[in-house]
Amino acid sequence: MAINKGRMTAPVDTDVVVFLIGMRINNVFAVSQWVPVFLAMARMLPELYKNPALGFKSYEMWFSRTLILVQYWESPEKLMAYAKAKDSEHLPAWRAFNRAAHASTAVGIWHETYVVPKGNAENMYVNMPAFGFGKVAPLVEAVGKLNSAKGRLTGQ
């Protein structure tokens, strides 16, 4: 991944949905309980990338005892449509997890959804490859009014 040298920002000129989703391994030894959840998540990402009309833009992921994916979506309507789509990877995985969750607490899942209206987010990347919003909107040099967080948020 190419590193963008210097201070960069990715002005986002539309509303965007930031969706945090993940799983927590409550019992590391219950591999048969948490691996299927992990693999279900892994199947969803290629499906989302292959179908841009679904509204998925990009993601970042961290893995530890708690796996965290930060996803970027075009709209809450597209996010919810994917979640309920009978022909998606999500719905069968969600149903399987709900059945398994009644029998074991070995793995937990969670999500949070944030609808960010245009003009209500700012970002800064220094000596970084495209990351986060920088994968969603074009990266530009953080100069002039884009040189400060206030400038990036207010345009002043």
Q: Are residues 85 and 95 in the same domain?
A: yes
State which residues form the domain around 139: 4-11+118-154
Q: Are residues 79 and 69 in the same domain?
A: yes
At residue 41, the pLDDT reads 87
As given in the structure block, the two tokens for residue 87 are 């022909």
Angle at the Cα of 39 (from 100 to 23), degrees rounded to 5?
65
What gap in Å lies between CA 15 and CA 123, rounded to an integer? 15
Alpha helices in 18-89 (DSSP H): 31-50, 76-84
- For tokens 């709900």, what's the residue? 98
8 Å CB contact between 107 and 26 = yes
Domains held by the chain: number: 2
Q: 115: Cβ–Cβ under 8 A, 6 or more apart, which residues?
A: 15, 17, 76
Q: Are residues 133 and 78 in the same domain?
A: no
- Among candidates 104, 105, 82, 86, which has minimal Cα distance to 95? 86
- Among candidates 82, 106, 110, 96, which has minimal Cα distance to 22? 110
Q: Are residues 54 and 99 in the same domain?
A: yes
Q: Are residues 27 and 51 in the same domain?
A: yes
- What pLDDT digit, counting tens, does each position of 90-117 carry? 999 899 888 888 888 999 999 999 999 9
Read off the CATH number of the domain in which 82 is found: 3.30.70.100
From first to last of the 156 residues of the chain, give the pLDDT tens digit: 899 999 999 998 899 999 999 999 999 999 999 899 899 988 999 999 999 999 999 999 999 999 999 999 999 999 999 999 999 999 998 998 888 888 889 999 999 999 999 989 999 999 999 999 999 999 999 999 999 999 999 888
Q: Are residues 23 and 90 in the same domain?
A: yes
At residue 101, the pLDDT reads 81
As given in the structure block, the two tokens for residue 40 are 């279900």
As given in the structure block, the two tokens for residue 80 are 């919810």
Q: Are residues 27 and 102 in the same domain?
A: yes
Q: Are residues 77 and 87 in the same domain?
A: yes
As given in the structure block, the two tokens for residue 108 are 């937990």
What gap in Å lies between CA 149 and CA 123, rounded to an integer? 8
Q: Are residues 133 and 66 in the same domain?
A: no
